[in-house]
Amino acid sequence: MSATMTARAPARRPMLDRRTLKRWMAGYLFLLPAMICLAVVSFVPMFQGIVTSFENFSLFRPGQRGFVGLDQYRYLAEDPLLARTFWQSWYFALGSVALQAILGMASALLLNQNIWFRGFFRGLVLIPWVVPGALAAMMFGLLFTSTGLVNTLLADLGLVDLGLINAAHPWLSDPRTSMPTIIMANTWKGFPFFTVMFLAALQSIPKDYYEAAMIDGASNWQSFRHITLPSMAPTILITTLLGTIWTFNSIDLIYILTSGGPYYSTMTLAMFSYNQGFGRGNIGYASAIGVVILALMAIITIVYLAAYRRVER
């Protein structure tokens, strides 16, 4: 027997009645394919990684792997590099994502216009994203050497004469400018992701909203602030969150350009973890650092989503 809509008693708490269960089932079933896919290839290795953080697994002593409790975490707490690496990780991730999001939004708005050869320009904007990370890194490495194209251009623009920049400045080899340079390279590499996502999100805003606003006499900036941004809020939130998680864990650029140097100035937690794991062979330690990253990302995700839910209301 199926309850029809009209026959429902409205005052009943919709806990485990048939229709709610059916609704729940739909939710679970839609989610099922993804969960199956992720079960073996994502959940299990992640779990294994977490377990390894409590072991003293070294690649150079494979026979002596064993449980050591919180030893790896103790080593981490005592590591003199921890504090600096921690702050630099945030600097790198948040700096990159902020610039990427801004550039992505600007380019999405631009590419949404009715311009000639729009397809060509949209194709063009994809290029930085598609270039394989290692090659983009090599390319930036060459551009930013002391005699590289960037310095030549800056000299031509007269910035050297103005005393703003040293001539032949080795951007990546100077600890003061190494991280900003990497952030720039990362911005170039990653902003098309935001462009594409924002472009897609811009499409779902009903144009009658804008028409109504124009009739009311709103300026373009006000339309942007009160229509565009709020309508795109879910996408903006998700892309910046995902971008942060992704960037925090990315090592491609850093590995090729500076490997965390010079003198630790571009060391991030993810790079640190990689060096400990594959460089020193200390997988247990690398896993412990990995779990710390996991915890940090989990915390900001929760904070982000809680803030969003409040904003939604």
Partner 1 sequence: MTGFSRREVVKGLGLATGAALLPGLGSLSARAAETVKLVNVEHDTRPLDNAAYKAVYDAFRTKHPGIEIEFQLIPWEQARPKLLTMAQGDGLPDMGRVAWVADLAAANAIVPLDGKIEPSLLDTVDPLLVQQAYGVGNDGARHLYALPWFVGTQSILVNKTLLDKAGITLKDSWTTDEFAAAAKALTVPGKQWGVTLDGAGIGDPVQIFLSAIYGYGGKWVAGDPQSVTPEPIVFDSPETAAGIEWYTNLYLDGSAVPSAPTDTYKERDANFQSGKAAMAWQGPWSLLETRENFKQGGWELASMPLPTGPGGSVPPSLGGGMAGLFRGVLKDGHEAEALEWIKFLSSEEGQRLYCKTNGMIPASRTLQADPFWADDPLYKGYIGTMKNMRQMLPIWATGLEGLLDDVVPPLMQGVFLRQLTPADAAKEIQAQVIRGLQQNGVRVPS
Partner 2 sequence: MSMRITAPRTAAMTAAKHRVRLPARMVLVYFLLAGLTLAIVMPFLWLFLGSFKSSFELMQNQSQTLWIKNPTLENYQRLFREYDFARYFLNSTIVAGVTAVFATSVSAFAGYSLARFTFAGKSFLSFLILLTQMIPVIATIIPLYLWFQWLHLLDTYWALIIAYNAFAIPFCTWLLRGFFMEIPKELEEAAEIDGAGQLGTFFRIVLPLSLPGLVATLIFSFILAWQEFLFAVTFTSKAELRTLTVGIAAMRGRDIVDWGLLNAGVVVSTVPLAVLFAFVQRYLVKGLTAGAVKG
Task: Tell me which residues touch partner 1 (CB under 8 A).
Answer: 56, 58-64, 75, 138, 141, 145-147, 167-168, 170, 172-175, 178, 257-264, 275-276, 278-282, 285
156 binds partner 2 (CB under 8 A): no
* Contact positions with partner 2 (CB under 8 A) in 57-116: 106-107, 109-115
CB of 101 or CB of 270, closer to partner 2: 270
257 binds, among partner 2, partner 1, none (CB under 5 to 8 A by kind): partner 1
Q: Which stretch, 80-88, 91-99, 159-167, 287-295, contacts partner 2 (CB under 8 A)?
A: 287-295
Q: For partner 2, which residue of 73, 86, 91, 129 counts as binding (CB under 8 A)?
A: 129
Show the CA angle centred on residue 74, arms to residues 68 and 76, nearest 5°.
115
54 binds partner 2 (CB under 8 A): no
Interface pattern 19-48 for partner 2 (x via CB under 8 A) = ----xx-xxx-xx-xxx-xx-xxxxxxx-x
* Contact positions with partner 2 (CB under 8 A) in 190-219: 193, 196-197, 199-211, 219
CB of 248 or CB of 274, closer to partner 1: 274
Min. distance of Cβ 238 from partner 1 in angstroms? 33
301 binds, among partner 2, partner 1, none (CB under 5 to 8 A by kind): partner 2
Show the CA angle centred on residue 206, arms to residues 103 and 219, nearest 5°.
60
Residue 240's nearest CA partner among 136, 89, 85, 103 is 103
d(CA 210, CA 200): 17
Min. distance of Cβ 77 from partner 2 in angstroms? 18
124 binds partner 2 (CB under 8 A): yes
Q: For partner 2, which residue of 93, 122, 177, 181 counts as binding (CB under 8 A)?
A: 122
53 binds, among partner 2, partner 1, none (CB under 5 to 8 A by kind): partner 2
- Transcribe the chain into DSSP letters: ----TTT--TTS--SS-HHHHHHHHHHHHHHHHHHHHHIIIIIHHHHHHHHHTTB--BTT-GGG--B-TTHHHHHHHH-TTHHHHHHHHHHHHHHHHHHHHHHHHHHHHHHTS--TTHHHHHHHHTHHHHS-HHHHHHHHHHHTSTTSHHHHHHHHTTTTTTTSS-TT--TTTSHHHHHHHHHHHHHHHHHHHHHHHHHHHHHTS-HHHHHHHHHTT--HHHHIIIIIHHHHHHHHHHHHHHHHHHHHH--HHHHHHTTT-STTTT--HHHHHHIIIIIS-BHHHHHHHHHHHHHHHHHHHHHHHHHHHHHH-
CB of 167 or CB of 175, closer to partner 2: 167
Min. distance of Cβ 276 from partner 2 in angstroms? 8
282 binds, among partner 2, partner 1, none (CB under 5 to 8 A by kind): partner 1
Min. distance of Cβ 136 from partner 2 in angstroms? 8
Min. distance of Cβ 29 from partner 2 in angstroms? 8
